[in-house]
Structure 1
């Protein structure tokens, strides 16, 4: 069933959410400074920097980054680092961690797929990679970064007193499995799509203009 909300209105809502998340982090930084909570102020500032990074890279290197993907990246940073770590949502909601790891598996799988697809299309040596290899790479890319995230969680718990890994090894393995499931879904969809359509789904004309132009 299609939504009755016009597409332009949905786009406006997405933009408001996109900007609103950054505004909330800025206001939180001001509050942390006001109450002399320097550690959280520094952490929130780093989080804000990460949220701004996709836009900065897009403008600095003239990359075409679909707004939907940019929004997904910023949302994940906001939900995981800001709400999850700083606002203790990991402790308040038992499924928060699993939901975010599933989301990150999908998101990182898409990023890995787009990266290697670009390499495959633009390589000056006429590099040819099969759809199955590209799909498997997206899974490996997602899982590799998931491992890095688990190291971050361990460091945050050990050094700053967070409780991101409440049950130790079972929590770590559960997170990696959920992440892998999300990445596997992306890999299957990407494989089927490449076999049938042979082009990127993100606005092909703009993609060719900003990425694949000689």
Structure 2
């Protein structure tokens, strides 16, 4: 396992201890100042960073064991800059780099002290996803407080479109920060990771110490819900594919590019299971194919004025689409987990990862919708993806989260079998490449 590279996030040298403790004391002072000034968000973030930084030294009972001081600088600089001058940084990118660094340290500590096993590449992916997810969750929580309690964190009297534009820029800053942080961490593990290992010894992670990851059948209520014959499921899938084909021709006849493109894209996605079966010999259960087809069919159907005329149609399609994205994320990560010994994601951590994955995907989708709207205005085109203010955006993300919760709660057991099939396919493909 590539655990040694993650272990380089801890040092026990005299010089590093002095510099790191100086930065840590500055963070402690900053935390008090933030709370006294009423900037509770930054106070909580600083306090959380302090706990993450101190945890390894507390575990090993050695105060000289600290993360590298230059990584702590990435954490501290935006926080210090925000306390000194709110406008010190022209964008929020440094703030999200700080969040990414904290997430990296947290991921490393999860790897060190729990049954989770991850290499540095997965840790970087986890940091990127977490950075985007936190940005989305942060604004979602503020919006929920505003509409339910009457606070004014986001809904402060400005127009819905103005607030939405500001939040979209924040999402883009988070995306850029996640990419920048990933490049920085990749460089760090590629260069600094080659230094001489320290004398720190982490708890052993022998295979017998890792609990078995069992696969079970779906819960009884889900089995009852899905108790439809295989032929009926396949028939329902074919009917929806035929409807999408009819929608394509109808859109061509009406000269509605929006309907045509959405119908063609949806129809293409419905044939992905067939491609997996014929090209990679990975067969999907008919209910999974029906699930995917239903999600894209309802989304395409919404272009025929259903989004405007049917209440909650948009919410329904977002929840279904999010469940498909969550399922895809689970299947891929679980397959890699099965295939390689360098990764082990237990069910509880997988539950959290699915939620973060879908929230991050939701942030990226909202950015794409926003950029599409901007291009439509710029080039005077007809809208393909549209946003209708901050409440519409936050409601979409809320239903994304609900769809992810459904998959995280029961879908993992139902999807485990397909993950094993993909893992076996990866193994056979790898073996054939090695023979060549």
What TM-score do you get using the length of structure 2 for normalisation?
0.40
State the superposition RMSD in angstroms: 3.2
1:90 to 274, 291, 307: 307
Pairing 1:61–2:273 present: no
Identify if the C-alpha distance between structure 1 residues 31 and 144 changes in structure 2 by more than 3 Å, giving closer, same or farther. same
1:79 positional shift? 0.5
Unaligned segments of structure 1, at least 5 residues: 194-199
Residue 92 of structure 1 deviates from its aligned partner by 0.9
Deviations 1:165-196 (A, max 9, x none): 23x11111111122113313432446xx8xxx
* Residue 76 of structure 1 pairs with residue 285 of structure 2: no
Q: Which has the higher contact order (CA 8 A, sep 6+)?
A: 1
CA distance in 1, matches of 2:384, 2:342: 48
The separation in 2 between residues aligned to 1:163 and 1:207, in whole angstroms, is: 32
Counterpart CA distance in 2 for 1:154 and 1:209 is 38
Kindly provide the CA deviation profile for residues 49-91 of structure 1, in whole angstroms up to 9, marking residues without a partner as x.
23223322342222232222221111111111x111x212111
How many residues in Structure 1 have an aligned counterpart in Structure 2?
Answer: 198
Deviations 1:67-119 (A, max 9, x none): 22221111111111x111x2121111121111222223333222222222211
Structure 2: distance between partners of 1:105 and 1:51: 16
Whichever of the two has the greater Rg, that structure is: 2
What is aligned with 2:351?
Answer: 135
Structure 2 residue 338 is matched with structure 1 residue 121: yes
Structure 2 residue ranges without an equivalent (≥5) = 1-220, 222-226, 377-381, 428-436
Give the superposition deviation at 1:164: 4.2
Residues of 2 paired with 1:175 and 1:16: CA distance?
30
Per the alignment, residue 248 of structure 2 pairs with 29
Shift of 1:133: 2.1
Structure 2 CA distance for partners of 1:35 and 1:186, relative to 1, 3 Å: closer
What is the TM-score normalised by the length of structure 1?
0.75
